[in-house]
Amino acid sequence: MESSQLQKNAPRLVFMTGGPGSGKGTQCDILTGEYPYKHISIGDLMRNEIKQGTEEGKAVQAIVQKGNLVPKEMTVALLLKTLKTLKAPTILVDGFPRSLDQAVYLEQAAGKLEYIVLFDTEREDILVDRLIERGKTSGRADDNEETIRYRFAVYKSQSVPVVSLYDPFNIIRRVDCLAPIKDVYKRTLKALRPELMFIFGPRYSGKSTLCSSLTERYALHHMTLESIITKKTRRSTQVLTDDYEIVDAVCKALLSLRTQYRVIIEDFPQNLRQARRFAVLLGQPNRVIYLKCAKYLAQTRLLEYGSSQNDQSSPAEFNNNFEEFSVKAKEIAHYYRENIGELFGEVESTEGPFEKTFEATAKVVEPEVVMVRGELRWDFLRYLEKRGYKLMDAVMLVKLWREARGLNSSEWEGEHCDDPELITIFRDSIFSGAGTSKFAIFNFVSRNKDLVDQFQKRVCEISKVYYLSSELGKEGDAVSFEFFKQSKLEYIDTSKLSDSKELTPEDEKRINKLLEESEKRDKAWGILILGSSMTGKTTLATHLSSTYTIVDYEKIVEETKEELSTEDEPKESLVYSEFLEGLQRYLEKNPDTVFVFDSYPSKEIVLTPSDPKYPDFQVPENEDEYSIHLVAEELANRYKDFLDCIRPLVVVNLEAPLSQLQKRLSDKLEVGEDEELPPEENKELVESYRVYEFINSEHEELQNKVPRSLCINVSEMSEQDLNQRVSSALQKRIVLLRGEKQLQNNLMSLFYFKHQLFWVDFDQVVAEALEQNESLAFTVRSKGLDPKTKVSLLKKAIQKRPLRELVVFVSGFFSEKVGEYSSGFQELELLEASIAPVQAVLSVGAQEALEIEPIPVKQRPVKKTEEEEEDQDEEEPKEETPQEEEEERPMWNSYQVCSFLKTFHNFKFPKSEVVNVTFEGENFSSVLLEHLERILSCPESRFTFQVQADESTVSKITEEILNWDYSVSKQLNQNLPVDTSELALLQTQLSKALTNGEAKRFHSEYLEGYTAPFSTFWNHFSEELRRQGWEVTKGLRSAVLGHIDSNKNSFVDVQEINNFFQEWKKDEFKNQIKEKAQKKNNEDKWFLVDHSLVVLVQNSHPDPSTGAKSFNRGDTFEIEVEGFKQSQRFCGDSRVYFGRQNKTYSPDVEFNSAETKIQTSHFCIQTRKNGYYLTDSGSKFGVKVKVQDQPFLMYPDQVYCIG
């Protein structure tokens, strides 16, 4: 609200709230003793009124003794009156607001609340005991047990909803109050400090430049350590050098800030000691950035900029300082890496464009914001909340903003989720300074895609969008589609989640699994083959070893023993936990490798004794069923850690009945049908079978994806069939695209989105590679891209993307230039050998003939051996039957010149199926999408799609897609956390109250909100009266105030304004006002002085940066009894204000805006009964005045009589 009395240059107002006995007052008393804070206790203000015996005090006493809350109008009026008299950077308001109507009334009267500290606990019984103990010595009438318990009931019913109102806006800082006073004090200090970032780095690394850009983008206040620890006086400059003094100065500076809720400090900490000391006093920072810089680059910048910065460092001095800093920086970086984890980031200052360094830093500084769309569910949102995300319901925020807080200034009449005012609400909430770094927003934007762009420009980037759906292939909404094209959309299959509104352990585990793949692609992955003995695990693993790498457990054991051995103590054996650590190291050494795990490690590796991580397990000596069950259960429990270590991409479960496996074992051991299996071999088989029963997983295939779990019954399956079944489930397929880019970007993206497929723009891949690799760029410019390099780049691009994708669409890979012996054959061969088979090629443009002339093949007779001829002679002659001629497989020259499309078609036998697509009539896009479905439905077939489309057709298809009837992301409706029945929608309140047309017009032009100070109303109303020819005097102001301010609180609400204008249209009423004004003017004349006051400007200092001056020497202002009549503000109130113009304040004598030292209301000259009085309005530098050649300097709270 622009008419707010709680301006940004005003003190920081911190509302300290909490249950009775939570210690709010105690902490406020300690804080005011340590820092230049002021403390307002609403309770003390009330008790002071009672002590003075005023009418308000008597009313308050009657209310308090019953344990009820004092009316909001009385409380807010008293609070605002007191605030005007206090001068401090921070004012602690204790015990307010205690109810919703108090909070909302204050916001509408004076501006929105921005800072609430909540002293929180769930142990009401402890607080009750505190208050009863206090009552023994306090002498307070309300400190008895009956009243105390009633106060708690009132707090829960009226004060707790205040927390529910403001918590969604992220302005509440919680302090656990159940601790000794000293511990609570430390927590309170942390709640009062701003959200804090440190940036350190060597000189000339670019910290200042970086900070300047960050402050503008992310609402940060920039402070330098130099400015904090440097104290300048007229005679000397003192710089702090002691580490403890430096940290104390930093803490004091932070806690002395006003409304700078987010701060970045440059060049701090300087060493490990300072970092630790700060953590003890104010806790760990919210972010730390280490801006690294190569020494040569810093030296280059010293030579370039050193002279302009008066830096006289010699190369030797600079080198020594750089080396000393590097040692300290290493210690600081290690400390923060250990203590704040991912909140610490290292950024390299580079020689290139500054934007690169800024983008890298932004990844550390920027809050993590994710959006949830699609079929919204509470269980998934609760999952994000459990992972540290602050849930932000856009619809809820708008409703609370409008219907509860009454702060809206938007005229939006559409859906709440598309309200443009959400951008302001989100920015204020995300950058509130509460220290929250992760946000999950939902119910945001149904169709207004521009609102998303505004969010990312004015707030921050949306890092990821989770699209929830129970049905793959269902077309999503347009906004989600845009995020999908940016590779930011993550599809979440909710079909197997429960219907519970709360997060169940099973759902949490499943969601974890869904998200794990996209978030941790840099870790090792594996194919785990499970099954009991005799299921063919080892045979399958051997088959897969041609493509993947088999893990040898015994080799891991030996390598780990060698790593852990020393010359004095060689490692003879490993425990299971040591084996897992060795396995983890082995996998991390090969991050790009997909491993095959032939079942779990053996029982001998897993059930090792004396393992500090696992209790010793004594293997039973008996061989009965129960003993086998115990061993299987223990193995299954320990195998869970093994699964966490290897993170399997797919688990292949090979199943068969125990009887079938025993039969296989009998065949292997050549045991007769009537004979029994050897006991030892049978025991191992049964134990293996029981273990598998404990750890097997259910079958889970995914459409067009690598399955998470394959359950295969191998009872009647041959080894060849099993190998084929598993290989096809893991086999990727590539589809190459050529032609119209616009069509690919729109129609193909829609196809990808519908089926959640993944694609690679090879042109972009090459561009990024050339930008990062100068030698490659030089080679490409001179010789072009050779096939090996192309395939290598594509392989790397595919490896960075989701691992489960089976179908990969690649655009821009075609080699269009056809030279001598150039057919693309080598590229196709390399592509399939290195990555995956090419299933289809889609070409948009002119169609071409794909058949080639085969090389004639001469069939040579097969020469038989002498033995074969003799055998043939001995055989009886057979009747000749006609033989069907085999289809001749033509040979063709792989080096003959032909197009890439023709090469692919003839690349393998059988040739690809050619599909020629032409567009007739309408629904162009639907026709092509139907054809593309065949790629997914026929994975064993090869296709060549030729899409005949000219510019006109492409234009029509693009238009169709732009006008596509997308679905709308569903909203998750929830009830408001507060009862707004008495806090109706502000616009509704205004429209109901403002029934008078003139009142409605006046309010819309000059005022905002439900309530406004009378002074604001009078400034605008008196201006209108002056234009109508009225003589505006002090008496007229008094007459209007006496009629309109029915509550006598110096504020007017819309109802009072409406009633006033309802009367103002009557001439009789206007005459009454004139008579009262005249009477008041006559009453005041007896004390007015009979001379005027002349203000003469002796000097006006120019602004050091602009040279602008407010006045010239010799300028005069004649002030009369009624005020400065030449002023536009003149209203006969006997006051003359000197200051700066702004939207809510109009001075009589205006200073130039370049005068940076001048406050909004700098000083005032007021006529009283015996002369003119000068009062300072709180100027930081004081007011220098000379009266009749007697100079003096005024400070706040001083009054000087001039006449």
- pLDDT (0 to 100) of residue 1180: 52
Question: Higher model confidence: residue 744 or residue 295?
Answer: 295
Q: Is the dihedral of CA 982, 984, 990, 996 positive or negative?
A: negative
Q: Could you please report the per-residue DSSP string of 179-192?
A: S-HHHHHHHHHHHH
- pLDDT (0 to 100) of residue 880: 55
Q: Please give the Cα distance from 581 to 683 (Å, whole number).
A: 31
Q: Please give the Cα distance from 648 to 730 (Å, whole number).
A: 13
Tell how strand 1135-1139 and strand 1161-1168 pair up: antiparallel
Q: Which of 251, 253, 140 has its CA nearest to residue 190?
A: 251
Give the chain's mean pLDDT. Answer: 81
Tell how strand 525-530 and strand 438-442 pair up: unpaired
Q: Order of strands, edge to edge, in the sheet holding 594-598?
A: 549-550, 594-598, 525-530, 648-655, 709-713
Q: Please give the Cα distance from 224 to 269 (Å, whole number).
A: 11
CA 49 → CA 54, 398, 785, 1003, distances in Å?
6, 39, 86, 34
- pLDDT (0 to 100) of residue 115: 93
Backbone torsions φ then ψ of 832, nearest 5 degrees: -75, -30
Q: Please give the Cα distance from 675 to 654 (Å, whole number).
A: 27
> Count of alpha carbons within 13 Å of 704, Cβ hemisphere only?
21
The SS3 of residue 197 is strand
Q: Please give the Cα distance from 1172 to 1122 (Å, whole number).
A: 11
Taking the CA atoms of residue 152, residue 158, residue 160 and residue 161 in that order, the dihedral angle to the nearest 10 degrees is 160
CB atoms within 10 A of CB 509: 9
- The distance in angstroms from the start CA to the end CA of the chain is 40
CA 963 centroid distance within chain: 31
Of 346-360, 765-779, 867-881, 1144-1158, highest mean pLDDT: 346-360
Q: Please give the Cα distance from 1203 to 23 (Å, whole number).
A: 51
CB atoms within 10 A of CB 1014: 18
> Which region among 258-272, 386-400, 984-998 has the lowest average model confidence (pLDDT)?
984-998
Contact 669, 677 (CB under 8 A): yes
Beta-carbon contacts of residue 351 (< 8 Å; ≥ 6 apart): 297
Mean pLDDT over residues 372-386, rounded? 91
Q: Please give the Cα distance from 1147 to 1167 (Å, whole number).
A: 16
| Each residue's pLDDT tens digit, 1128-1187 | 777 777 888 888 776 556 788 887 655 545 555 578 888 876 788 888 765 555 566 777
Q: Is the dihedral of CA 137, 141, 146, 150 positive or negative?
A: negative
Contact 677, 671 (CB under 8 A): yes
Contact 652, 712 (CB under 8 A): yes
Mean pLDDT over residues 316-329, rounded? 91
- pLDDT (0 to 100) of residue 557: 93
Q: Which residues pair with 392 in a beta bridge?
A: 441
- pLDDT (0 to 100) of residue 2: 33
| 197: its two tokens | 């970032």
Q: Which of 1071, 1065, 1067, 1017 has its CA nearest to residue 1044?
A: 1017
- pLDDT (0 to 100) of residue 818: 45
- pLDDT (0 to 100) of residue 141: 58
Contact 1045, 1052 (CB under 8 A): yes
- pLDDT (0 to 100) of residue 77: 76
Q: Which residues pair with 1199 in a beta bridge?
A: 1175
Long-range contacts of residues 423-427, Cβ cutoff 8 Å, at least 24 apart: 423/451, 423/454, 423/455, 423/458, 423/459, 425/169, 425/397, 425/398, 425/401, 426/392, 426/394, 426/397, 426/455, 426/459, 427/219, 427/458, 427/459
Q: Please give the Cα distance from 656 to 651 (Å, whole number).
A: 16
Confidence of residue 1193 (pLDDT cuts 50, 70, 90): low
| 841: its two tokens | 């090629």
- pLDDT (0 to 100) of residue 198: 97
Looking at the chain, how many residues does it have?
A: 1203
- pLDDT (0 to 100) of residue 4: 38
Q: Which amino acid makes up residue 139?
A: G
Mean pLDDT over residues 649-668, rounded? 89
Backbone torsions φ then ψ of 858, nearest 5 degrees: -90, 120
Mean pLDDT over residues 107-116, rounded? 82
Q: Which amino acid makes up residue 527?
A: I
Confidence of residue 870 (pLDDT cuts 50, 70, 90): low
Q: Which of 797, 798, 803, 763 has its CA nearest to residue 780?
A: 763
Tell how strand 913-917 and strand 943-947 pair up: parallel
CB atoms within 10 A of CB 54: 12
Where do the domains of the chain lie, and which CATH numbers do they carry? 12-182 (3.40.50.300), 193-363 (3.40.50.300), 367-490 (3.40.50.300), 525-729 (3.40.50.300), 732-852+891-949 (3.40.50), 996-1080 (1.10.238.10), 1093-1201 (2.60.200.20)
Q: Could you please report the per-residue DSSP string of 242-281?
A: -HHHHHHHHHHHHHT-SS--EEEEET---SHHHHHHHHHH
CA 230 → CA 225, 238, 250, 257, 928, distances in Å?
8, 6, 11, 17, 71
Please, is 864 exposed, middle or buried when counting C-beta atoms within 10 Å of its C-beta (0-12, 13-18, 19+)?
exposed
Residue 222 has pLDDT above 50, yes or no: yes
Q: Please give the Cα distance from 613 to 442 (Å, whole number).
A: 42
**pLDDT cut 70: percent of the chain above it:** 82
Of 388-402, 971-985, 1096-1110, highest mean pLDDT: 388-402
Q: What is the pTM of this model?
A: 0.72
In the block, residue with structure tokens 């190459």: 736
Q: Which of 93, 284, 69, 304 has its CA nearest to residue 196?
A: 284
Judge if the upstream peptide bond of residue 97 is cis by omega within 30 degrees of 0.
Answer: yes
Q: Which amino acid makes up residue 501?
A: K
Beta-carbon contacts of residue 1065 (< 8 Å; ≥ 6 apart): 996, 998
| Each residue's pLDDT tens digit, 450-504 | 899 999 999 999 999 999 888 766 667 888 888 887 888 888 888 878 877 788 8
Q: Over the range 1032-1061, which residues count as b (16 or more CB within 10 Å of their CB) and which as e?
A: bbbbbbbbbbebbbeeebebbbbbbbbbbb
| Each residue's pLDDT tens digit, 587-624 | 888 877 889 999 989 888 999 888 988 988 887 877 67
| Each residue's pLDDT tens digit, 395-437 | 999 988 887 787 766 667 778 888 999 999 999 999 999 999 9
Beta-carbon contacts of residue 173 (< 8 Å; ≥ 6 apart): 115, 116, 117, 118, 191, 192, 434, 435
Mean pLDDT over residues 801-823, rounded? 69
Confidence of residue 884 (pLDDT cuts 50, 70, 90): low
Beta-carbon contacts of residue 578 (< 8 Å; ≥ 6 apart): 560, 564
Q: Which of 1168, 1160, 1087, 1166 has its CA nearest to residue 1119?
A: 1166
